[in-house]
Structure 1
Amino acid sequence: MAERHERARAMIWGALVADAASMGLHWLYDQARIAAVAGERPEFHGPDAADFEGAKGYFAHGGRTRGMQSQYGEQMLVMLRSLAATGIYDKAAYEATFRAHFGYGGAYVGYVDRATRDTLDNLAQAERTGGVEAAAFYGSDDTQLPAVAKLPPLVAAGQVDEAVSAIRVTNNSDHAEAYGRVVAAMLQAAVQGAAPAQVVQAGQTAATPEIAEGLARAVQATDQSVPAFTAQVGMACELAFGVPSVMHSLLVTGSYAEAVRQNILAGGDSCGRAIVLGAILGACYGMGGDRGIPVEWVEALTQRDEVQGLMDVCPGTGNG
């Protein structure tokens, strides 16, 4: 049980550290430019608009500084806060926490993705026309990686059965659910002690026939580098691109740091992939040592103290 507890905590750290490490170069779609401005150790490269000038990409994080989370990490923190407050996944409480953080007048200042924007608008419209129904989902018909950003705390808390509900709060889509089930299965395998190759196998087992072929490409391309495979499968925000890239990274890298670095060098939606990749390898390799999460990377997190406090009271990761 103690080992499961430590893996669950490392899953949370792993996801948030990987997201923050990737944030500065997030949505830069030029792999050569990333390598030129950040070198072989691109982690925690501070956001700089000059890095994007003349290159394919979108500079979204001008108001952020080194060590902060992207909007993906912020979404994960919303789930972590909700679990800390309620002690269990509660859809209504999660929606309320989500709206309080990202909505008008909320604490969050930064890029707002389509799924978040649509969800907030749909909830507001429901209130104006009869009220928010407890059993209804108001998420966006969106098939991008924000769908799975909130899953690591949920799985760490031992509530993987609630993954579909959590996904549909922001991404009310059958396609998003199908990929979300794959990600939840991989996270579950990792927190239970599976090795990276076994994690990939768990994800493939959970896949529907409609998405299985795309996932199989990751297993068939282990002779390629992470940047090469990601460029081939797709660098953008779609789950159909990001999940195979994560699977491939799990199979061809040997440590947390190597995987995070290669994911950043792959470009595109590096933060969207980083949440899942970092969570899994945090659980697999733990903290410190040759393969685990570098302790100095954890120290670089702007919200490290808050995360520590939330984990200490959350189910699955708490000290009680």
Structure 2
Amino acid sequence: MFDHKKATELVLTSLVADTYSLGPHWIYDAKELDALDIDWQQLNDAKAKWHEGKHAGDFTHYGDQTLWLYEFLQDKNHFDVGEYIAFWQIKMATYKGYIDGAMKGTLENIQAGITPTGSSSTDTSIVGRIAPLLLVSDSRQGFLENVVLFVSSTHNADEIIAPATFFADLLVEVLSGKDVVQAISQLKPQYNTNIQRYVEQGIRSSSDDTIDAIREFGPACGIEGGFPSIIHLLTKYDKLEDMLIANAKAGGDTSGRAMIAAIIFMAPSTRTINDIPSAWLRLNTTLL
């Protein structure tokens, strides 16, 4: 159902969004953000201690795990969550990057024989890693089912699974030709009251300053702040570069917001890799 070339471009888009967001990722203090030694037009070394040793073109642990999923699916025509989590566990055994709460909790559940294996994390970041699943999904319903299986393998909480399904639904709508803002409004009534509230908050903020809006919603990792922030980004901007720069300057979980906003933003057929600044395509990977 999904065009392979476009799907691959969206995987690349998610990785670009992650590596661009690396510089200010997990820096929250406004004064510290303002004083960062960062060129906002370029990729930058990580400035936060959690990503010490990560350089311009590297990924946060979100991008690293997106690459793992992409790599896992290369010789597959469907998504087997059991095989994937075994592959993920092998990768984790030698991983040198930051290991967050979701990763730790998932490893503990695997050791305890708990299924689904996912932690109770409600971090936004997992949603931004779904693009590779387009490559092995033959229908809208198949994609949504794969998203739920994938999300619950590391983030098994209703509070994140429902939002992940919404954004997956939105991605499919935009890929099929729907306008982003129109699709958001049409999908909203089909989801629970929390999601409806997040959508309304994001839309209402579309004329607000992005830094102010994201800090008002909450710039941390949780979906309760991330969801309306993503809606804000999608309803405010018509240029990818402007959207990702403004998002990065807001600090906090910059990548968690950026990855999902970017793949939805780039889903229309009229948007291509040429819309990504060439300076941002210098990724430290040869996988794509």
Give the TM-score normalised by the residue count of structure 1: 0.81
1:83 equivalent in alignment to 2:61: no
Shift of 1:179: 1.2
List per-residue Cα deviations over 1:247-291 (Å, max 9, x = no partner): 110111111111111110111000111110121223232211xxx
CA separation of 1:199 and 1:33: change in aligned 2, threshold 3 A:
farther
Amino acid in structure 1 at the alignment position of 2:61 = Q
Q: Indicate the residue corresponding to 1:13 in structure 2.
A: 12
Name structure 1 gaps, 5 residues minimum: 50-58, 127-131, 309-320
Q: Indicate the residue corresponding to 1:277 in structure 2.
A: 261
1:70 equivalent in alignment to 2:57: no
State the SS of the aligned residue for 1:101.
helix
List per-residue Cα deviations over 1:62-83 (Å, max 9, x = no partner): 0211101101111211211221
Amino acid in structure 2 at the alignment position of 1:147 = I
Instruction: Trace 1:1-320 onto structure 2 (pairs within 5 A).
Output: 4-37=3-36, 41=40, 43-48=42-47, 59-102=49-92, 104=93, 106=94, 108-126=95-113, 136-158=115-137, 159-201=143-185, 204-284=188-268, 285-288=271-274, 292-298=275-281, 300-303=282-285, 305-306=286-287, 308=288
State the SS of the aligned residue for 1:247.
helix
Amino acid in structure 1 at the alignment position of 2:7 = A
Shift of 1:203: 5.0
- CA distance in 1 between counterparts of 2:273 and 2:136 reads 19
CA separation of 1:71 and 1:202: change in aligned 2, threshold 3 A:
farther
Shift of 1:293: 1.4
**Are the equivalent residues in 1 in contact too, given 2:125–2:255 (CA < 8 A)?**
no
- CA distance in 2 between counterparts of 1:260 and 1:202 reads 25
Shift of 1:241: 0.9
Shift of 1:115: 0.8
- CA distance in 1 between counterparts of 2:38 and 2:278 reads 21
**Are the equivalent residues in 1 in contact too, given 2:45–2:55 (CA < 8 A)?**
yes
CA separation of 1:90 and 1:140: change in aligned 2, threshold 3 A:
same
Shift of 1:89: 0.7
- CA distance in 1 between counterparts of 2:33 and 2:178 reads 32
**Are the equivalent residues in 1 in contact too, given 2:219–2:251 (CA < 8 A)?**
yes
State the SS of the aligned residue for 1:80.
helix
**Are the equivalent residues in 2 in contact too, given 1:200–1:250 (CA < 8 A)?**
no
Shift of 1:143: 1.0
State the SS of the aligned residue for 2:125.
helix
4+ long deviations beyond 6 Å: none
- CA distance in 2 between counterparts of 1:261 and 1:37 reads 14
State the SS of the aligned residue for 2:107.
helix
**Are the equivalent residues in 1 in contact too, given 2:221–2:253 (CA < 8 A)?**
yes
Q: Note the aligned Cα RMSD (angstroms).
A: 2.1
State the SS of the aligned residue for 2:52.
coil
List per-residue Cα deviations over 1:118-165 (Å, max 9, x = no partner): 101110122xxxxx7xxx302111111233243121135433321111
- CA distance in 2 between counterparts of 1:141 and 1:257 reads 33
Name structure 2 gaps, 5 residues minimum: 138-142
CA separation of 1:205 and 1:162: change in aligned 2, threshold 3 A:
farther
- CA distance in 1 between counterparts of 2:4 and 2:97 reads 33
**Are the equivalent residues in 2 in contact too, given 1:14–1:283 (CA < 8 A)?**
no
